[in-house]
Structure formats: structure tokens, C-alpha cells
A and B are shown apart, each in its own frame.
Chain A
């Protein structure tokens, strides 16, 4: 008797399948991947001011867009699509096979990672060409960017899977999830300069990961001199790391313990 394939092996195969399925939904592919670019185009055209010496709003906004790209692509898309898969019986069918839950989660994480890489490439490309966005030149900033993306997308994926428990049906999922994401974006300094928001809004946002991701991305895309204009007068890199890890642990815990394969 042959051995049952490992969870990682199956997870990678599921990742391939997830990407293939996603790529065939053409409207959704174009919209999802270009969404950050579209927002950058709108906001970049409306707000042409500089918010600090050498810092354009577009530059500030790119940091916010990358952070919310992580949240949209991971948390929002999974918390909406998983209940839809559950509704049509796809998850229950998978539950009845020897494929373990971890493989399903790994497959989702791969899909999110690939979709994120494409989104960022498009955002950087359009940002550079049309909106005068400047890319960081120091290696240390790219290292920060890399761990932020890795940790941020893991966190966002885990929380999306965990939150998929909440919507009762696939049809209602979008109505539950989208407002949360949009409100978080406003509160977390994606669309506006964070320090200009009311204090209570800032404090509320500081509970959730998006604020920290956004601030982290500012530390990558904005000059270090801008750190003095943050709430804590610094980038708070260590705190960002620990808060994201904490949310990752929360997300993984609920995904593993509470994931729902069936409607009832």
C-alpha cells in the first residue's frame, strides 16, 4: 500500500488548483488585480499636494494601498469566497476526502501570495510610470518590505479563513465583510493621513493589524525623516512585528479550531 501524500504536498497542489480556478474568473481577476491601481489613479489625481517636504500624497497613498492590498486580497476575499464554497457543498466534499484541512489552508495561502505579488507589481509599475511614485533604494527597506508582506499576508490569510465562520451564507458574506474592511481602511490611515484623524479613531485602529501594516509600509516608502510625524514619533517597527504575530496566532487558532466545512 502506498503512503497517503503529505499535507504540504497536497497543499501545493491545491494552491495550483486555486490559482487555475481564480485565473478563469476573468472579470474578477482584472478587478481584483487592478483595484489598487484604480484607487491610486483616483486619489493621486484628486490630491496633488505634498503632505511633508518631499512626500507627495501619492507616495503616502501607495503605502496605504499595499497594506490594504494585503487585507483585501487575503482577509476580504477569503472571508467572502469561503462561505460561498461552503454554500455549494464544495467544502463538505473536501472534508470527506483524506485531504487534511492544513492542505486546504496552504492552498489558499499560495493563491493569496501569488495574487498579491501580481497586484504589487502592477501597482509599482503604474505608480512609477504615471504617478511619480518613488521606490526605496536601500536594501534595509526592501528587507522590511519583505517581512511585512510575508507576515502581513500570512496574518491576513489566517484571519480571512477564521472570519469565514461568521457569515451565515455566501450571499450575505460580502455585506458582512466589506463594510468592516472599508471602515478599517478609513480608520487606519489608508485614505487620509493617519495623524489627522480624530484620536479615538486612531486608538480604535491601533487594535487591528491594518493600521500597523500601513504604518510599516510607510516606513518603507516614505523617507525616514517622516517618522517624526507619526503618532509615536517613530515607525514602531518592533511593536508592528509583535502585533502582527499576535493577530496571526489568533487567526491560525480560530482557523484550525473553528473552521466550518458545512452549512449547518
Chain B
């Protein structure tokens, strides 16, 4: 059974059709990235899955529960999921360890508090007041609170916005660790390299519809699209688009008698493909 199963999800705000029929199937253990420009319906979709918003139409099963479920069933459901929201600046007067410990009490099978602190790299900030944390440290605390309940499914909403490159790498390593524990992760992000580094599959959403679901390397025909070979010939930089870059390189190598000056073979990045996809929809 899939951890997330969505069929025909629709949601409108007045005359604005934010989500116009989204289907998603995400199996256990997968890291799935949802990509899309602002206003594409990404946040609405995720917030409906998280149980924060109602829907107008569609069937949803998250770990076998409907996110709109209430009462004790809702508590049992929330006991098995973790949510890392975009920005929270609450509880400034508590220390990191107090907050993590307190949240661990909400769950039936919490992770070990010290292990979680170590996993997110906050051991040394354990006694610090939350309001004195840096942005990146705060974000790591958000993640700690999201995973403390040993969730089977984790929602990560733009987890590394505002991170410096080093902090992002450290964060990615943390997510890789979670992958190792079998946690299913639904990630939304603006960073295409992040999706590429982490996600098993990505979905691109635009105008309230999923345009494509694929692996990052195959999205938008990326794996089979033309490569561009570029090199220097005298004072000129030359380029050639080709389906057979190896043949081009071999030909050039013969031409130059060995080393090709400033050789580069460029395949379209995930970002190029993505921009083309969301641009194409507007045409």
C-alpha cells in the first residue's frame, strides 16, 4: 500500500482554482519532491495532505487515513507523521533541549532525544534559548521537532531556504540518514539541485495540475535530450548541439591531435528542464 495516495484532488478559493485535479502515489520509503512556481498549487496541495486545509473534491489516503479525520483517529494519524513547516519562530524563551524533550512527550514512540539532537547537529546548542539560534540552527530544530516522533512519513516544506551552501550540504546528509531509516519524505523546494540530490522522484506542478512525474535524471526527456559540446578554436568558442557527444569529442580530438582546448560537454540541468516545462505551460 502506498503511503500517500491522492486521486482527483481539487481546491478553489472563490473563483481561483488553486488545485485542479492532482493525482499522486508515493510508496513507502521514497523521497518525493514536489516542484512548482509560487502560486502553482504546491502549498495548497501539501497543506491539504497535512490536514491543515479542507478540499473540495478528491480521495486522499495518507497512511490509510483521511487527513480531515478528527478526534482520536486524528491523534493516531498525527502520531505517525512529522511536519516541518516553512517558518516558525515560536517558543523563543525555551531552550533547544526543553523544546525537543517536550515535543517527544506528544508521541507514543519517540526517538531518543539525544540521538535526534546529534542527528541535526544541535548537541552543542542544547542549552541555548531558541531565540538566540541562527536561522540555520532554527531550521535544524524545526527538523528535530518534525522527526522526534519517529514518523513513517515526513513533510518537509522548503527546508533549506536561507541556508548557506555548507549548511545545505549538512542538511542533505541528514535527509540521507532519514532515508536509511525507511522514512517516506514529501519534500517541496525551490532549489532544483536539492531535488536532484535528494529525491527518488519529482513531480512538477503548475496551474493546479501535475505536468509530469519522473526521476530527476529523466524529467522532461532530460536523459535523451541533446548535449552541447563546446571548445575553443583559436580565438573563438565554438559549440555544437548533438545526440552523439562522444562522436563529436572523438572527431575534435583527431582534429586537434589530442587535447581539445577548453572542452566541455553540457547536458541540460534539471533547472533548465524545469524552467522550460513551467514556461511551456503558459504558452
Contact = CB atoms under 8 A, between A and B. Distances in A.
B251 to A, nearest CB: 58
A48 interface: no
A257 to B, nearest CB: 12
Contact of B106 (A10, A90, A261): A10
B283 interface: no
B109 A1 contact: yes
A100 interface: yes
B135 to A, nearest CB: 14
Nearest to B155: A96
A106 B93 CA distance: 20
Nearest to A22: B93
A5 B50 contact: no
B93 A100 contact: no
B90 interface: yes
Interface string A85-107: 10011111101111110000000
Nearest to A87: B89
A2 B109 CA distance: 6
A97 B149 contact: yes
Nearest to A9: B105
A99 B78 CA distance: 9
B232 interface: no
A261 B90 CA distance: 13
Given A2-B108, A5-B106, A88 B85 contact: no
A146 interface: no
A20 B75 contact: no
B52 A3 contact: no
B88 A13 contact: no
Contacts of A99: 106
Contacts of A5: 105-106, 108
Contacts of B50: 96
Given A10-B106, A99-B106, A262-B52, A20 B88 contact: no
A13 B108 CA distance: 15
A96 B145 CA distance: 11
Interface in B78-110: 78-79, 81, 83, 85-91, 93-94, 98, 102-103, 105-109
Interface residues of B, number: 29
A21 B75 contact: no
A3 B108 contact: yes
B90 A89 contact: yes
A4 B102 contact: no
Contacts of B98: 17, 20
A7 to B, nearest CB: 9
Interface string A2-32: 1111000010010001001100110000000
Contact of B88 (A2, A25, A88): A88
Nearest to B88: A89
Given A4-B76, A98-B79, A17 B94 contact: yes
A21 B51 CA distance: 28
Contact of B107 (A17, A90, A95, A98): A98
Contacts of B108: 1-5, 98
A85 B94 CA distance: 14
A97 B107 CA distance: 8
A196 B88 CA distance: 50
A3 B94 CA distance: 27
B93 A25 contact: yes
Interface centre among A17, A88, A90, A98 (most CB of B within 10 A): A98
Nearest to B75: A98
A40 B78 CA distance: 48
Nearest to A90: B90
B259 to A, nearest CB: 56
A24 B106 contact: no
A30 B283 CA distance: 63
A82 to B, nearest CB: 12
A262 B83 CA distance: 15
B158 to A, nearest CB: 13
A4 B98 CA distance: 20
A21 B78 CA distance: 25
Given A4-B79, A98-B75, A92 B52 contact: yes
4 tightest A-B CB contacts, nearest first: A90-B90, A89-B88, A96-B83, A24-B93
Given A92-B52, A96-B81, A99-B106, 19 more contacts: A2-B108, A3-B108, A4-B79, A10-B106, A17-B102, A21-B93, A24-B94, A88-B88, A88-B90, A89-B87, A89-B89, A90-B89, A93-B83, A93-B90, A97-B106, A98-B106, A98-B108, A98-B149, A262-B52
Interface of B: 50-52, 75-76, 78-79, 81, 83, 85-91, 93-94, 98, 102-103, 105-109, 129, 145, 149
21 contacts: A2-B109, A10-B105, A10-B106, A17-B98, A20-B94, A20-B98, A24-B93, A89-B85, A90-B88, A90-B90, A92-B52, A93-B83, A93-B145, A96-B51, A96-B78, A96-B85, A97-B106, A97-B149, A98-B106, A100-B75, A261-B52
